[in-house]
Structure 1
Amino acid sequence: MTADAVSRGERDRSPLGQPYWRLWTSSGLSNLADGVFKIALPLLAIQFTQSPTLIAGLSVAATLPWLLFALTAGALADRLDRRRLMLWANVARALLPAALVAVILLDLGSLWALYVVALAVGVAETLYDTSAQSILPQLVRRSQLSRANGRLYAVELTTNQFIGPPLGGLLVAIGVVAGFGVPAALWLAAVGSLLLVPGAFRIERELKTTLRADIAEGLRFLGNQRVLRTLAVMTGVSNFASSGAFAVLVLFAVGPASPLGLTEVGFGVLLTASALGALVGSFTAERLEAALGRSRALAVAVVGIALFVGAPAVTTNAVVLGVIFFAGGVFIVLWNVITVSLRQRITPDRLLGRVNSAYRLLAWGTMPLGAAAGGLLAQWLGLQIMFGIMGVLSLALLALMPLLTDRAIDAAEA
């Protein structure tokens, strides 16, 4: 299928294949573990502190590897077997929460111990996610990428945000062992599923080069692709804003003194609204992409995400927020399916790890900065003013949409 066929919305409906569905299963288990873990960590942290800055520090620690380690992770994904990197990353992610349980049971727990575990899990996530996005075009045809990415987002977001958060809240209410032991077991189960994916996923290299030269080649490729470069910058700004907002959302939502006054379980349920929207979006993104055209669909997604980020600035009604979070989930997946599939189509397999990591350096490297900014702004100005600032920043991305016309996107893909 040509780029023109993709832009017209012609879809390859052939089966995705058994190796893909085994990767899909592994991804679902990994993301369920991550969904439980990311809720358990701040819920444990608020037992040590009520400071917005210190709570936001957990998000800074968890996402800092995307700023410091992303380029190296991409180079490794293009040098080594991508499936093996994913396996070792998940083994590490299983051991870390298990170690945290031991520390807590020995009465040695502290906020700093949570920071260390969050940082280490973030490093493993950087390796896993970069390899996972890079391995997909080796399992399915490029004409199947929108559908394959959509199905992956369905299971990832459903488990990570729909099932994981309320389950995490429930498990933490039971106890620390349950809250962190369950994600450790799920990451190990994901390893088992990934072991069933057959084949080797190491890209053959004709020349021996240094790691530094490999990284530079990936950066040059991204720098020469204006559409991808623009999308990376836009995603980076959006992630800065959303990380700032959601790093301290637990303080806005949980506890009798908070504006929403939710319990831990209620907080998890609120977050499932966006996950449910993401599930709907994962099955409709391909159709919306075809119906609206990619440029218009991206513009609609920008507006929807801005509302999603800024909504707590104007309402403390949990039901209203739930509806807005649902819509936000749809728009986030629409953006992701279009942009990730486009990046996978444009980039040669041998460069995909490095381009993915260079893209994510811009797109995800802003997340720890956003989390830190969100914590500081909330501390200085208050939670709702901070949400408003981040929502306006997200909406300002519409100014870059003239660089992302359908003609420009088609030309980049061709």
Structure 2
Amino acid sequence: MSSAARVVEVVLPRRLGTGFRWLIASSWAGNLGDGLALAAGPLLVASLTDDAFPVALAALAAWLPPLLFGLGAGVLSDRVDRRLIVLTVDVVRALVLVALAVVVATGNAGIPLVLGALFLLATAEVFADNTASTLLPVLVARDDLAVANARIQTGFVTVNQLAGPPLGALLFTLAHATPFAAQAGLCALAAVFVARMRLPARDAERASTTPWHDVAEGIRWTAHHPAVRVLVATIFIFNVTFGAAWSVLVLYARERIGLGEIGFGLVTTVGAAGGIVGVLAYGWITRHVSLGNLMRIGLVVETFTHLGLALARTPWVALPVFFVFGAHAFVWGSTSITVRQRAVPHGLQGRVGAVNTVGTFGGLAIGSGFGAVLSQHFGVTAPFWFAFAGSAVFVVLIWRPLRHVAHGD
């Protein structure tokens, strides 16, 4: 076996199957495109106006679609051919991006049009991400889900968070339309990869009930399953505390620890570097630590992350904390989705995943509101103290129920 073949075998083991390789290729291509947009989208809005309100609306356009359409996306993915959903959404995203690139290149871009395009892209991403997460349990054996999720998260950390944003910013400086054209090409490439994927045969979809009934069924199932219920509650509460702290992160970096606009990019880079360490260590960790204990350790790490940042006054103290948090975020994300995929029946994967998505973004939205109020009245570190106190209290409350996670499958 050649060196290249050995590397491929280590990264994408043959036992995971050809379908998984097509899925992960699609995921990595899409994540690189999304990484370009993380920088290019806000830069485009900021290039069109000095008003902070439209810039804030651009952020709203990113997190509002999961709240509005998350449950509907879950119902659709449990009713319709999931591969077809992902393929269609990737094509639609590519077309919207091509149109946006043309408008920007010709100098006809305006704030309403750009915000509308960003909203459409974020909405499409809700349907794509929710449905893509339901494909993995179909393609990969149950015992390999942790490894498979780790490989997918590797792409997210490296190309979405580490490589994508600086590349998107660089392309934007060359020509404002370039990153959006590049993202369109990557979405089209992701669609090609999905088209090559073949799923195992499934039973006919049950579509005799109403969509509202299906939504209620997903919520009821989540509420009555101890492990998944605990996961969703934990993600919601910890995203309230996380959202409060991270909503003022740019102000914290500039005013508290003295990082400028360029230096602020170090926060993402250092966090992504920590995520890569989590990627490399995840296999060893899951062989030696139970999933339930991994969740407990992660909650403790996140709690003390907020304390460390509340106390830090220099980048030399804060950046190592961001590094540790990056590793924790990767391990937590991979573990939580693995537990959910193992526990949820195939026909409910989309709807239960959608309930999780609504909890995730609902927590972020509520937390961002707390962060804005606290920082305005008590200073930029107040949200971090709130996040530490809130997380500490919830860790105590959730510690015993987390035993359900270890037995969730």
Alpha-carbon contact 2:296-2:402 (below 8 Å) kept? no
For 1:140, the equivalent position in structure 2 comes to: 140
> In the TM superposition, what is the alpha-carbon distance from 1:61 to its structure 2 partner?
2.1
For 1:404, the equivalent position in structure 2 comes to: 401
The 5 Å alignment of 1:169-318 reads: 169-199=169-199, 204-206=204-206, 208-253=208-253, 260-264=258-262, 266-308=263-305, 312-315=309-312, 317-318=314-315
> How many residue pairs get matched?
396
Alpha-carbon contact 2:339-2:408 (below 8 Å) kept? no
Tell me which amino acid in the other structure corresponds to 2:288: A
Alpha-carbon contact 2:296-2:399 (below 8 Å) kept? no
**3-state secondary structure, aligned to 1:15:** helix
> In the TM superposition, what is the alpha-carbon distance from 1:367 to its structure 2 partner?
2.6
Partners of 2:160 and 2:270 lie apart in 1 by 12
**3-state secondary structure, aligned to 1:412:** coil
**3-state secondary structure, aligned to 2:197:** coil
Pair 120,394 (structure 1): closer, same or farther in 2 beyond 3 Å: farther
Partners of 1:405 and 1:289 lie apart in 2 by 17
Query: How far does the alpha carbon of each residue in 1:309-341 deviate from its partner, in whole angstroms, 9 at most, with x for none?
Result: 565544353344332222111111221222111
2:357 paired residue among 360, 385, 389: 360
Partners of 1:323 and 1:283 lie apart in 2 by 18
Unaligned runs of 5+ residues in structure 2 are 1-12
The 5 Å alignment of 1:11-410 reads: 15-47=15-47, 48-49=49-50, 51=52, 55-199=55-199, 204-206=204-206, 208-253=208-253, 260-264=258-262, 266-308=263-305, 312-315=309-312, 317-406=314-403, 408-410=404-406
Partners of 1:238 and 1:167 lie apart in 2 by 31
> In the TM superposition, what is the alpha-carbon distance from 1:168 to its structure 2 partner?
2.1
Alpha-carbon contact 2:26-2:191 (below 8 Å) kept? yes
Tell me which amino acid in the other structure corresponds to 1:360: T
Pair 374,45 (structure 1): closer, same or farther in 2 beyond 3 Å: farther
Alpha-carbon contact 1:165-1:269 (below 8 Å) kept? no
Pair 312,75 (structure 1): closer, same or farther in 2 beyond 3 Å: same
Query: How far does the alpha carbon of each residue in 1:327-363 deviate from its partner, in whole angstroms, 9 at most, with x for none?
Result: 1111112212221111111111111111111222222
Query: How far does the alpha carbon of each residue in 1:173-227 deviate from its partner, in whole angstroms, 9 at most, with x for none?
Result: 3331123222222222211222211236765235622212211211111110122
Which stretch of the first structure deviates more once superposed, 351-360 or 117-126? 117-126
Partners of 2:260 and 2:201 lie apart in 1 by 46
TM-score with structure 2 length normalisation? 0.86
Partners of 2:33 and 2:285 lie apart in 1 by 30
> In the TM superposition, what is the alpha-carbon distance from 1:158 to its structure 2 partner?
1.2
Partners of 2:316 and 2:113 lie apart in 1 by 35
Query: How far does the alpha carbon of each residue in 1:252-304 deviate from its partner, in whole angstroms, 9 at most, with x for none?
Result: 557xx89644344x443431211121122133234323423223221221132
Partners of 1:247 and 1:92 lie apart in 2 by 31
Tell me which amino acid in the other structure corresponds to 1:318: P
> In the TM superposition, what is the alpha-carbon distance from 1:108 to its structure 2 partner?
4.7
Partners of 1:118 and 1:376 lie apart in 2 by 27
Unaligned runs of 5+ residues in structure 1 are 1-12
